[in-house]
Amino acid sequence: MVYADQVVVTLRSKAELDQSEAAVEEIFPPKLTIPFSQNHPPKKGIAHAPAEHGTIDPRTQDTLLQAIARSRSWMDAVLAGKTASSDEIVSAEGLA
């Protein structure tokens, strides 16, 4: 869990425990607490102005956004079980 002043990590082990230890682990799992403080107050919006020379031309930007959208649809297909592997995507898209 992430809090404003700390991160708490619940530690879990895959080692087999007997019934009494397992019950205690479920009630009081071991935790690692990492305190921290923010160096800067949170900001809304853009934290800095974009570099004038760092922008890409509109055609390259459109190509990049289309590639991101295609890859997102491929990931959705894999996660939904519609596609089993990247080889299927390659052949379906005619990329090989």
pLDDT tens for 60-83 read 989 999 999 999 988 888 888 888
Q: Considering its fold, how many domains does the chain have in total?
A: 2
Q: Is residue 46, in this structure, part of any structural domain at all?
A: no
Question: Could you tell me if residue 20 is inside a domain?
Answer: yes
Residue 75 domain flag: yes
**Structural domain of 88:** 58-93
Determine contact, residues 11/29, Cβ cutoff 8 Å. Answer: yes
Which range among 1-5, 32-36, 47-51 has the greatest average pLDDT?
32-36
Assess if residue 53 is contained within a domain. Answer: no
DSSP of 57-86: PHHHHHHHHHHHHHHHHHHHHHHTTS---H
Q: Is residue 40 part of a domain?
A: no
Residue 17 falls in which region: left (phi positive, over 0), alpha (psi -120 to 50) or beta: beta
Rounded percentage of the chain residues whose pLDDT exceeds 70: 73
Domain presence at residue 84 = yes
